[in-house]
Structure 1
Amino acid sequence: MTPVPIVLDGVTKRFASPRGEHREAVRDVSFRVEPGSFTAVIGPTGCGKSTLLSLICGTERPESGTVSVDGRPVDGIGQDIGFVFQTDAVFPWKTVLGNVAAGPRFRGVPRARAQALAADWVRRVGLAGFERYHPHQLSGGMRKRVALAQTLVNRPRVLLMDEPFSGLDVQTRQIMSDELLSLWELTRPSVVFVTHDLEEAITLADKVVVLTAGPATVKEEFDIDLPRPRDAREIRHHPDFVRLHELVWKALRDEVRVAYERGLGAA
């Protein structure tokens, strides 16, 4: 499927607090994701990164501004959008094959065809031989692979990812980053990837968007002009990686400090 642009233009979103007050989660946010590109969004804890994903996928609506996908305003959850969550969104009662086949079946694909598609994606994520296993029989990294296959089998034109590797150890995160890049290259959806990990953001992305401490605004955008294909471990030794890390960290550092000091004040 042809990848599509994602455009946020002056987007503001508020939520009601327990006291009945309205708190701004994001304020006047504008950025663009080019078709088939990989954009990482990074910022301090609680600044509104996940809210942006909710606005793009259509589960939340902005108070002002517009969110558009493929030139059309987002007015609900679209079938062309895939979402990989921080926690494993797998069905514990289904096998690996059953989990991956669930999306195509829900979309009306005949059972035999859905099973064949699922088997192909199970192989692509390196889980051939584990088709009949259930999630509780898998490691954390293997469950993340199931979640990726479960999403990518539907060939989404937009892929939203909310810190999908945050619960994994460093070595497994690097392996999963390589897996993700390889799988992304197969269909090239337009990706918005939320993370707290600056190295992860630079390793994966074509562009890094730095958000301010909440309410989130776009502080700065950085083009990541590192060569592709990338190896998650090797690319971090590239001289331009070190240069980009320093540039992005200078933009991010003050926002992290602000968020930390707010947390001390609240305590």
Structure 2
Amino acid sequence: MTQPVIELREATKRFRGSTGIMTAVQNLTMTIRPGEFVAVVGPTGCGKSTTLSLVSGLEPASSGEVLVGGKPVQGIPAGIGYMFQQDAIMPWKNVLDNVAAGPRFRGVRKADARAVATTWVERVGLAGFESYYPHQLSGGMRKRVALAQTLVNEPKIILMDEPFSALDVQTRSLMQDELLRLWAGTGAAVIFVTHDLEEAIALADRVVVLTAVPATIKADFVIDLPRPRDVEEIRLTTAFLDIYREIWDCLREEVARARRGATLNAA
């Protein structure tokens, strides 16, 4: 078997808040191999985004270990692409220059950066919109730009924090299919955080369920659905519905726990 590209070993993250120390995630142990697509689900506020921050090096672990490429994470590792819930498109740059920004920051000559950016603009379906600015784009088009920004550097690891949550249902399905199409064959490992269990199952090879805060891994489900996938069609299959029921039976207990905790805190 190939060696893991991401490893969390009893990783814990604590934050200092107004009421003292809060443990966001504790004792997370998980491995992800090259080419694996892993979705992470759990109750609201349970630490899903914190997990991405540990892998990306944006936050250091309070205890335990986080390794990328077999090396402890100390700062932001090379070869990581991060797509946030709110896109990081620069409003003063047009589509082409937004996508070319990543290669330019890495020292690629302007002409070469624009050439590779042109290829990715075409691959995400925005040919003809190279000179448009973000305020001229729809929400779905902006997400295509953000996806091209993430993939243009050919990352070995792609971290995605609810990237499609703000889109309408139809556009969201289109972007899910686009993501699978563009990711296929890259060999990149993906961690995809989402509140949407259907989205997680439709996209992923594995779905990891986190508990309510302090979050730890409750279960890790293998999604044995064939690829390539059409996300709309696969949702209608019996196999999909069976997997959904199994994971929801596990997840809903944690959602209920989180709601009870929120009610007690409000009181």
Alignment map for 1:147-186 (pairs within 5 Å): 147-186=146-185
Tell me what 2:97 maps to.
98
**C-alpha root-mean-square deviation of aligned residues, in Å?**
1.2
Instruction: Tell whether the 8 Å contact from 1:4 to 1:190 is kept in structure 2 after alignment.
Output: no
Verify: 1:118 aligned to 2:117, yes or no.
yes
**1:4 Cα deviation after fit:** 5.9
Tell me what 1:244 maps to.
243
Which whole-Å CA distance do the structure 2 matches of 1:148 and 1:260 have between them? 33
**1:220 Cα deviation after fit:** 0.3
Tell me what 1:13 maps to.
13
Q: Which amino acid aligns with 1:258?
A: R
Q: TM-score, normalised on structure 2?
A: 0.97
SS at 1:36 equivalent: coil
Q: TM-score, normalised on structure 1?
A: 0.97
Instruction: Tell whether the 8 Å contact from 2:32 to 2:38 is kept in structure 1 after alignment.
Output: yes
Verify: 1:266 aligned to 2:265, yes or no.
yes
The aligned length equals: 265
SS at 2:190 equivalent: strand
Instruction: Tell whether the 8 Å contact from 1:85 to 1:164 is kept in structure 2 after alignment.
Output: yes
Structure 1 stretches of 4+ with a deviation exceeding 2 A read none
Instruction: Tell whether the 8 Å contact from 2:68 to 2:77 is kept in structure 1 after alignment.
Output: no
SS at 1:40 equivalent: strand
> What whole-Å deviation, never above 9, does each CA across 1:132-169 have from its counterpart, x for those lacking one?
00001000010000000001000000000000001011
**1:79 Cα deviation after fit:** 2.5
Instruction: Tell whether the 8 Å contact from 1:3 to 1:36 is kept in structure 2 after alignment.
Output: no
Q: Which has the larger displacement, 46-55 or 57-66? A: 57-66
Which whole-Å CA distance do the structure 1 matches of 2:150 and 2:4 have between them? 17
Verify: 1:127 aligned to 2:123, yes or no.
no
Instruction: Tell whether the 8 Å contact from 1:141 to 1:172 is kept in structure 2 after alignment.
Output: yes
Instruction: Tell whether the 8 Å contact from 1:163 to 1:196 is kept in structure 2 after alignment.
Output: yes
> What whole-Å deviation, never above 9, does each CA across 1:206-233 have from its counterpart, x for those lacking one?
0000000011100000000100000010
Alignment map for 1:1-267 (pairs within 5 Å): 5-19=5-19, 21-267=20-266
> What whole-Å deviation, never above 9, does each CA across 1:217-254 have from its counterpart, x for those lacking one?
00000000100000010011122111100110011000
Which whole-Å CA distance do the structure 2 matches of 1:210 and 1:118 have between them? 36
**1:18 Cα deviation after fit:** 1.7
Mind listing any 5+ residue stretches in structure 1 that lack a counterpart? Answer: none
**1:32 Cα deviation after fit:** 1.0
> What whole-Å deviation, never above 9, does each CA across 1:41-79 have from its counterpart, x for those lacking one?
000000000000000000111111111111111111023
Cα distance 1:145–1:3, how it changes in 2: closer, same or farther (>3 A)?
A: farther
SS at 1:237 equivalent: coil
Which whole-Å CA distance do the structure 1 matches of 2:78 and 2:3 have between them? 13
